[in-house]
Amino acid sequence: MSKNFFSRKYNKILVYNELVNVQNEDSNTNDKLIIHTSNGLYFGKLKHPNPTNDTKIEKDDDFLTLANKMYLSILEKYDKSLDAKVNEEVVENPISIELEDVTVIASGKTIKMPFVSIFVDKIIGVSIGSVEPLTGSIS
């Protein structure tokens, strides 16, 4: 039996995402969500996961949907296994957000990634904006 989880932080991120979408449409900008973690700043577009427990893999599934379906399938099999009856599960926050078209700024380096999954308990702050090259020096 799958559990449903609720996170106020996750819902706040969904609100910011809707605001950035409206702002981009109204002002013809290309702002993204900015997720601040202890590792650095993540700039990206929120990927809305398929809110289903369907684990059937379809030919046109994108990479993140495929990964989510495989993950749900593994959990389903584990829950029915003997291991699930004898192992003690580590309590953790399972809620994550997926960003696409991501730029990460960490340790003075800029990294481009097609996607990233960030667990909400690792998020320090959320904002909206764009990545712009640094000009001049910082004093």
For the ranges 9-23, 46-60, 83-97, which has the lowest average pLDDT? 46-60
Q: Is residue 137 part of a domain?
A: no
What is the count of structural domains for the chain? 1
Phi, psi of 33 (to 5 degrees): -70, 140
User: Domain containing 101: what range?
Assistant: 8-129
Which residues, at least 6 apart from 93, have a Cβ–Cβ distance to it below 8 Å? 5, 7, 119, 120, 121
Q: Is residue 18 part of a domain?
A: yes
Q: Is residue 31 part of a domain?
A: yes
Q: Is residue 44 part of a domain?
A: yes
User: For 62-118, how does the pLDDT look when each residue is reduced to its tens digit (9 = 90+)?
Assistant: 767 777 777 778 778 878 888 878 887 766 667 888 899 999 999 889 999 999 989
Q: Is residue 79 part of a domain?
A: yes
Please tell me the pTM assigned to this model.
0.69
Q: Is residue 85 part of a domain?
A: yes
Instruction: Supply the CATH number for residue 107's domain.
Output: 2.30.30.100
Nearest 5 degrees, angle CA 50-CA 19-CA 66? 20
